[in-house]
Amino acid sequence: MVMIVAIAEGADLELIRSGLLSQRCPWLTALLDDDCWRPLACGPAPYEPSNLATAFTGRERGVHGCYSYWAMRAAGNAMPAILGSGDVRAPMVWQWRALADLRTAVINVQLTHPPQPLNGSMLSYLMAQSLRYSYPPGLVHALKRRGLRYAHDVSVFYRGEAAASFQARVLQVAAYQLETAIALAREHDVLIVNLTLIDRVCHFLWRELETADDPCASRVADAYGFVDDALAMLDELAGDDPMLVFSEIGFGPLERFESIDDALVRAGFQAPESAQNGVDPLAREAPQGSHGVVLSPAAASGGLAEEVRACLLAARSADGRPLVSRVARREEIYAGPALALAPDLILYPADDRRPPLGDPRWANHVNRHLQTGWHRDLGFIAARRSGRPRSAGQASLAAIAPTIVAMLGRSPPGWCAAPIFAAG
């Protein structure tokens, strides 16, 4: 038996609780009916890597230092760098002394590449194709000799192909990942696995959920059904050991992304694209998922920050609707030794269906213009074979790591947030 920690990435509580997809999710529906769950606060910028870094380090962004998949700043006009495991400025829970004697398998979790040594096994989450993504280094070859074929998310990326083709390919990747996770779970004391299928399908095929005659027959429903079946299998594998399930983001419809850079160009804080060579902007939109604006040193140290803030509060989209409802300085939102790595300004979209686009170079690279669904800032966390939730209301991402430790019957470090659940 093994403790299971499963991330049902992008699974939205309201879709299940509303009954819209409940017949495709019998395992999750039964779990929620048992009242062993809590809503999970995932803001102010709901995004996978930053939220999972908080969940597994027990530290907020201002301490672990990761605000997106990418660094917020780059020299000159260079593309922001992709973050890796070495950029996470706090140890992940599987590196904590409290779990040092337990063998842990970690599969498909963001910000784990390149894989760092641990007592156990890791198949890291890649942002580019690579042959070196496992720990121990020979793990992938050993799995292949056992007939297990692993695949990672970056091997299938949506580029506007037929929906059925995309669905078939991401389902195959998800099946390979699940099969590998089940095999490794039998050889470890703890399994941490990220089931990303729902998120991946919802980003590009969400509109099917809204237009289908029967939502339960949509490809989004198929993704929910696969993950629900996977959770049921993992639950059976855990046996009498505890199981923790959470989604670090909610999900909902996307009408369009709003370009913050366009507003900054109109206000004179940035040169038009045709004149940007050699002209550093005073303000530019930070990479996606951070909901931020990065200021030049001159703008940050002078009075221009307030001018940028006022500009964005007054900015309107092409159809006259406001872009943002609030613009906060980073120190109003984040705190800690990694505060300087955050965007200078944090934006709150006026409409969740119209979030900030993000740095257009990365946005174009990852085909954001093809997306019809986007993250929301309310996820959920649920447990099997544990004590009831210790408090009412929303749980915090930073409480997840100490909850894992507590559900294993061990004591989290004294600095941690209080566990959401304890040992059963």
**What is the average per-residue pLDDT within 2-26?**
92
Strand stretches in 254-365, DSSP E: 283-285, 292-295, 324-329, 345-349
Q: Is the peptide bond before 44 cis (omega within 30 degrees of 0)?
A: yes
- Is the pLDDT at 18 greater than 90? The verdict is no
DSSP labels for 39-76? EEE--SS--HHHHHHHHHHS--HHHH--SSSB-S--ST
pLDDT band at 276 (very low <50, low <70, confident <90, very high): low
- Is the pLDDT at 157 greater than 80? The verdict is yes
For 367-384, write each residue's pLDDT tens digit: 889 999 999 999 999 999
Structural domains for the chain = 3-254+372-407 (3.40.720.10), 260-368 (no CATH)
Handedness of CA 300, 306, 307, 308 (dihedral sign): positive
For 188-208, write each residue's pLDDT tens digit: 999 999 999 999 999 999 999
| Maximum average pLDDT range among 75-79, 126-130, 392-396 | 392-396
- Is the pLDDT at 158 greater than 60? The verdict is yes
**What is the average per-residue pLDDT within 330-342?**
97
Closest CA relative to residue 212, chosen from 420, 24, 410, 6: 24
Give the per-residue pLDDT at 361: 84
80 vs 65: CA distance, rounded Å: 15
Rounded to 10 deg, the angle between the 400-407 and 48-57 helix axes is 40
Q: Is 17 helix (H, G, I), strand (E, B) or coil?
A: helix
pLDDT band at 277 (very low <50, low <70, confident <90, very high): low
- Is the pLDDT at 327 greater than 90? The verdict is yes
The encoded tokens of residue 182 equal: 């089940």
Chain centroid to CA 100: how far?
26
Q: Is 195 helix (H, G, I), strand (E, B) or coil?
A: strand
Tokens 């019957």 correspond to 409
